[in-house]
Amino acid sequence: MTTKDVARAGKRGPYAKSEERRQTILDAAHAVFAARGYRGGSLQDVADRAGMSQTSLLHYFPSKRDLLMSVLERRDEITSGAFPDDMEEGLADSVIRTALYNEGIPGVIELYTVLCAESVTDEHPGRDYFTERYERLRASYGRRFAELAAVGRLRPGVDPDEAAMSLVALWDGLQTQWLLAPDDVDVAERLRGYLKLVIVPESN
Amino acid sequence: MTTKDVARAGKRGPYAKSEERRQTILDAAHAVFAARGYRGGSLQDVADRAGMSQTSLLHYFPSKRDLLMSVLERRDEITSGAFPDDMEEGLADSVIRTALYNEGIPGVIELYTVLCAESVTDEHPGRDYFTERYERLRASYGRRFAELAAVGRLRPGVDPDEAAMSLVALWDGLQTQWLLAPDDVDVAERLRGYLKLVIVPESN
DNA sequence: GTCTATAATGGGATAGAC
DNA sequence: GTCTATCCCATTATAGAC
């Protein structure tokens, strides 16, 4: 019997069914928090969408707070699908590609935008996540811009770390405008425009 | 008697005391919504801060929704204090000055950032406000950039409307990062950096 | 693991006395 | 205009049967 076999694998082993259930819940929570925010979305909403009772949900995630943290962790995994790390790719291309990739996954940008701003409010459980996320992003893009600067491909007068901060800020702001007016805002094109201002074209 | 005099002015005239009370409530609501968002802030929170009961509050604003709309309208008045319209001032200078001005008023940026993102969620009463606000902002800055373009002061290849959209997006995104890490983010300086990339210095 | 029942709290809004 | 009392509903979380 399958259940027995899995159980035999060890007391703390990942039970297939249970793990599947967790994923279902995380998908539901992702959608609910994206559509209504953390405070605005209820465990009942999530449970309904996952097809179970609210109490069953709390069997997998002991509190709403825990659920949120798991949703945020999962978001990183989803979006990192755009980065084949081993590939040599220009900064501009990789930014554009990531922007387009995220735009194609329903709810990803909504979740990010809504929870990020909500996280600056009092006692919000997501605050540390977003604070650290920005630190990582700024440092990461700062390094990429510094690499370009080292080979003379950063426009004179442009600081790598400042460009990184501005790129991230621009990206976020464009996504917000896009959510409110998707037909009027082209996130990827505006990012390309900024990068063209900042990066000197390859000379060959 | 003052009350009588005011009353004599007409049945619908603004009763001084009542108007004062409304302002007190709006100040309180501004602070509460800035700190906890619309969904996260309760009428009780606002009433406590305004020094009255929750029911008295509802005497002045018939619903939480009405209160929010009035807070948003009031925000426009507060922030428009930075614009002496009659003055001839360069686009860059006016942007920097407004950014610094807003930064100095406690809660203004919090309120804006938190409610704006929250407004993209389902059935949020602030959605139309922010949608229209962005349309106005993009159009307004678009005209300013177009004026610069007309006198050859826009960098070649830069479109006025696209620059307007990017400027607004960058501004919003920087404010978000600033709220999470005020010591690491200089909104005005980063805006200046962008405008320097886009605008050609005056030739004289 | 899943459910019903329920606890414990807090929300927005209304009625009506003063 | 201001309050107390209250309605009604939703929320997160727990207890305990199956």
Mean pLDDT by 10 residues, chain A (204 residues): 45 73 98 98 98 98 98 95 74 97 98 99 98 98 98 98 99 99 98 98 83
Question: Per the CB < 8 Å rule, is A116 touching B176?
Answer: yes
B148-172 pLDDT, tens digit each: 999 999 999 999 999 999 999 999 9
Q: Does A171 touch chain B (CB under 8 A)?
A: yes
pLDDT tens-place string over residues B80-138: 887 666 677 899 999 999 999 999 999 999 999 999 999 999 999 999 999 999 999 99
Which of B32, B109, B179, B191 is most worth mutating to test chain A (most A CB atoms within 10 A of its CB)?
Answer: B179
> pLDDT confidence of B17, banded at 50, 70, 90?
confident
How many CB atoms lie under 10 A from the CB of residue A39? 19
A92: alpha, beta or left, given left = phi > 0 and alpha = psi -120 to 50? alpha
Instruction: Choose among B8, B68, B69: nearest CA to B32.
Output: B68
**Percent above pLDDT 70 for chain B:** 91
Q: Compute the radius of gyration of chain A from its Cα atoms.
A: 20
Question: Taking 50 as the threshold, does the pLDDT of residue B8 lie above it?
Answer: no
A55-59, B13-17, B37-41, B98-102, range with the lowest pLDDT: B13-17
Residues 6+ away with beta carbon under 8 Å from A115: A33, A37, A38, A68, A72, A126, A130
User: Own/partner pairs for B83-91, CB < 8 Å, 24+ apart?
Assistant: B91/B141, B91/B144, B91/B145, B91/B148, B91/B195, B91/B199
Q: How far is the CA of B49 from the C1' of C13 (A)?
A: 20
Under the banding of pLDDT at 50, 70 and 90, the label for residue B203 is confident
Decide if B158 and A197 are in contact by the 8 Å CB cutoff: yes
Can you give the pTM of this predicted structure?
0.94
Query: What is the predicted pLDDT for the residue at B92?
Result: 98
**What was the pLDDT predicted at A202?**
87
CATH of domain A13-73: 1.10.10.60
Mutate to test the interface with B, among A131, A167, A197, A198 (most CBs of B within 10 A): A197
- Report DSSP state, residue A204: -
B190 touches chain A (CB under 8 A): yes
What's the gap in Å between the CA of A83 and the closest CA on chain B? 23
Give distance CA A72 / C1' D5 (Å): 43
The 3-class SS string of chain B reads: CHHHHHHHCCCCCCCHHHHHHHHHHHHHHHHHHHHHHHHHCCHHHHHHHHCCCHHHHHHHCCCHHHHHHHHHHHHHHHHHHHCCCCCCCCHHHHHHHHHHHHHHCCCHHHHHHHHHHHCCCCCCCCHHHHHHHHHHHHHHHHHHHHHHHHCCCECCCCCHHHHHHHHHHHHHHHHHHHHHCCCCCCHHHHHHHHHHHHECCCCC
Q: Cβ contact (<8 Å) for A173 and B170?
A: yes
Please state which of the four CATH numbers 1.10.10.60, 3.40.1010.10, 1.10.20.10, 1.20.900.10 is assigned to the domain occupying B2-71. 1.10.10.60
Would you place residue B16 in the very low, low, confident or very high pLDDT band (cuts 50, 70, 90)? confident
- A75 CA to D10 C1' distance (Å): 28
State residue A13's pLDDT score: 57
**Partner residues linked to A199 by β-bridges:** A154
H helix or E strand, kind and range, residue A150: helix A127-150
**d(C-alpha A47, C-alpha A66), whole Å:** 15
Which bases of chain D are under 7 A from a protein CB atom? 1-5, 10-16
The residues spanned by each domain of chain B are: 2-71, 83-198
A199 phi/psi in degrees, rounded to 5: -105, 135
pLDDT of residue B13: 57
Interfacial A residues in 59-78 facing B (CB < 8 Å): none
Q: Collapse the DSSP code of A97 into the 3-class scheme (helix H, G, I; strand E, B; otherwise coil) and give the result.
A: helix
Of B107, B116, B110, B99, whose CA–CA distance to B186 is shortest? Answer: B99
Q: In which band, very low, low, confident or very high, does the pLDDT at B50 lie, cut at 50, 70 and 90?
A: very high
Residue with the two structure tokens 């605008």: B199
A130/B contact by beta carbon, under 8 A = yes
Q: How far: B56 CA to D5 C1' (Å)? A: 14
Q: Which CATH class is domain B83-198?
A: mainly alpha
* Alpha carbons B183 and B198: distance in angstroms, whole number: 26
Q: Does A139 touch chain B (CB under 8 A)?
A: no
| Amino acid A32 CA to nucleotide C2 C1' distance, rounded Å | 22
Q: What is the largest CA-CA distance in chain A?
A: 68
| pLDDT for residue B85 | 63
Between vectors from CA B198 to CA B194 and to CA B200, what angle results, nearest 5°? 125
Helices (H), A41-63: 43-50, 54-60
Q: Which of B110, B130, B170 sits opposite A169 (nearest CB)?
A: B170
Higher pLDDT, A4 or B144: B144
Residue of B nearest to A35 (CA): B121
